[in-house]
A = this chain, B = another copy of it.
Amino acid sequence: MGWGDLGAFGEPSKETPNLDQMAAEGMLFLDFYTANPLCSPSRAALLTGRLPVRNGFYTTNAHARNAYTPQDIVGGIPDSELLLPELLKKAGYVNKIIGKWHLGHRPQFHPLKHGFDEWFGSPNCHFGPFDNRALPNIPLYRDWEMIGRYYEDFKIDLKTGEANLTQLYLQEALDFISKQQASQQPFFLYWAIDATHAPVYASKAFLGTSQRGLYGDAVREIDDSVGKILRHLQNLGISENTFVFFTSDNGAALISAPKQGGSNGRFLCGKQTTFEGGMREPAIAWWPGHIRAGGVSHQLGSVMDLFTTSLSLAGLQPPGDRQIDGIDLLPVILQGKLMDRPIFYYRGNEMMAVRVGLYKAHYWTWSNSWEEYSKGIDFCPGQNVSGVTTHTQEEHTKLPLLFHLGRDPGEKYPLSFTSNEYQSAMERISLVVQQHKATMVPGVPQLNVCDKAVMNWSPPGCEKLGKCLKPPKSDPKKCFWPH
């Protein structure tokens, strides 16, 4: 989902009344970022509070490449990483993940081995259908074991776009919340639905309800579901004791637009890129009785802050033995404070850009290669900013391209290298970058090796269902990451 997909963020169809209402009752973050323009690293960052380059969710197979966790990925979240649910357990929290995990699907990476108590969802994206020969269909898990596979037991009709998955995920959330309220135990619910990701789907009741086509139908269903979850919290009388945050893991995939892709508003390009459209996200904090209704914040925020903020809410400290990139947003949310902090934009092993205040400096620019672009893969359709949306990796480390995101949110007009404004902004930014790089200790890259043998052939529980498949012989290779 992109920054521009909600009515509250200016989507012209304004079809998200529940999320808009959530914003009206809570706090809207206008300058909130994911930690990576791609799903798996972004989610790893959210749950660890650390940049992907630290927690291992990146590749060194080639320079500045996005990587994620397809079925043949060998790596996953390292045991050495401390995840938010692991830490929340210490404060008595019961933790549930509903939806897409995406932090590795091999046994050692199972979410219940990393702090979650319950799971209903899938380890990977709902790509398919597959023939169960070259590729197995993606399994859905309930807790430790699989309970079926997408397209087989959980239907997704690619022709009509119909699938009731969001409804399943919604019901699961409502049930979990009811159960936790009844048992009086604090809980952490990570509601990581995969709707709006291509192939886009929506339930029958939502099909054809949007001006925006199928993608809009999916957004409407998410909006409706969020509304039901918030009302459920209110009806149970626990809304004033429950902190809710809504955001997305990367910008809208313009490559799938218009049929399966959303909107990044007026920001440049989309998913896969380190331009604003790839990483600035819609974000809303909600906590009736604590957050002043209708608040708006320009705090530079990150999904990694949800790690530190959640710990803070639980009365816990972030681990002191490692670098944590997330900051505690409670002073922002509760007292309207603004804290000075940079945003780093990474693509794989490269820091492509950094934002300090309203300035954003690009040290490297690249959308994708000419080779990929010539195949029709366009991350910036209808947009071309000379020297910025480049199809070769352009190095600007000596003289970064500098944009003022207040005057130029679309990153169209780089500041003159000879201006005083450039000089003084870059002085400040260079110090931030220098410090960042000097203290950077990259983690062991987890997204380098791929092997068809590790795919979801025989997940735990497959025997009970008669759904075990025979894996091919192991043949580990360097994963190919084209962009």
CA distance A416 to B143 in the complex (A): 46
Q: Is the CB of A212 within 8 A of B12?
A: no
Interface of A is mostly: loop
Binds B, one of A110-118, A227-235, A377-385: A377-385
User: Cβ of A337 < 8 Å from any Cβ of B?
Assistant: no
User: Cβ of A456 < 8 Å from any Cβ of B?
Assistant: no
Binds B, one of A86-94, A239-247, A404-412: A404-412
CA distance A408 to B7 in the complex (A): 16
Q: Is the CB of A13 within 8 A of B265?
A: no
Copies in the complex: 2
CA distance A31 to B211 in the complex (A): 13
Q: Is the CB of B407 within 8 A of A212?
A: yes
Q: Is the CB of B409 within 8 A of A12?
A: yes
Binds B, one of A98-106, A256-264, A394-402, A472-480: A256-264
From residue 258 to 305 of chain A, which have CB atoms closer than 8 A to chain B? 258-259, 263, 265-268, 296, 298
Q: Is the CB of A210 within 8 A of B265?
A: no
From residue 407 to 426 of chain A, which have CB atoms closer than 8 A to chain B? 407-410, 412-413
Q: Is the CB of B263 within 8 A of A216?
A: no
User: Cβ of A10 < 8 Å from any Cβ of B?
Assistant: yes
Q: Is the CB of B258 within 8 A of A10?
A: no
User: Cβ of A213 < 8 Å from any Cβ of B?
Assistant: yes
Q: How large is the interface on A (under 10, 10 to 19, 20 to 34, 35 or more residues)?
A: 35 or more
Q: Which residues of B contact A224 (CB under 8 A)?
A: none
CA distance A296 to B259 in the complex (A): 25
CA distance A358 to B258 in the complex (A): 14
CA distance A409 to B7 in the complex (A): 14
As a 0/1 sequence over residues 1 to 44 of chain A, the CB contacts with chain B under 8 angstroms (1 = contact) are 00010010111111000000000000010110000000000000
CA distance A258 to B395 in the complex (A): 25
Pick from B10, B384, B405, B407: contact of A10, CB under 8 Å: B10
Assuming the A-B contacts A212-B406, A266-B266, A406-B216, are A413 and B258 also in contact, with contact meaning beta carbons closer than 8 angstroms in the complex? yes
Q: From A7, which residue of chain B is reached at the shortest CB distance? A: B296
Q: Which residues of B contact A28 (CB under 8 A)?
A: 14
Q: Which residues of B contact A385 (CB under 8 A)?
A: 382
Pick from B211, B215, B267, B407: contact of A259, CB under 8 Å: B407
From residue 210 to 228 of chain A, which have CB atoms closer than 8 A to chain B? 210-213, 215-216
Q: Which residues of B contact A257 (CB under 8 A)?
A: 408, 412-413
Assuming the A-B contacts A265-B10, A296-B14, are A382 and B384 also in contact, with contact meaning beta carbons closer than 8 angstroms in the complex? yes
As a 0/1 sequence over residues 151 to 165 of chain A, the CB contacts with chain B under 8 angstroms (1 = contact) are 000000000000000
Q: Which residues of B contact A210 (CB under 8 A)?
A: 406
Q: Is the CB of A382 within 8 A of B406?
A: no
From residue 118 to 157 of chain A, which have CB atoms closer than 8 A to chain B? none
Q: Which residues of B contact A13 (CB under 8 A)?
A: 30, 298, 406
Q: Is the CB of B407 within 8 A of A382?
A: no
Q: Is the CB of B382 within 8 A of A216?
A: no
CA distance A212 to B11 in the complex (A): 21
Q: Which residues of B contact A381 (CB under 8 A)?
A: 412
Given contacts A10-B10, A13-B30, could you give 8 more A-B pairs where the C-beta distance is less than 8 Å? A12-B31, A12-B266, A14-B296, A211-B298, A215-B407, A257-B413, A382-B384, A384-B384
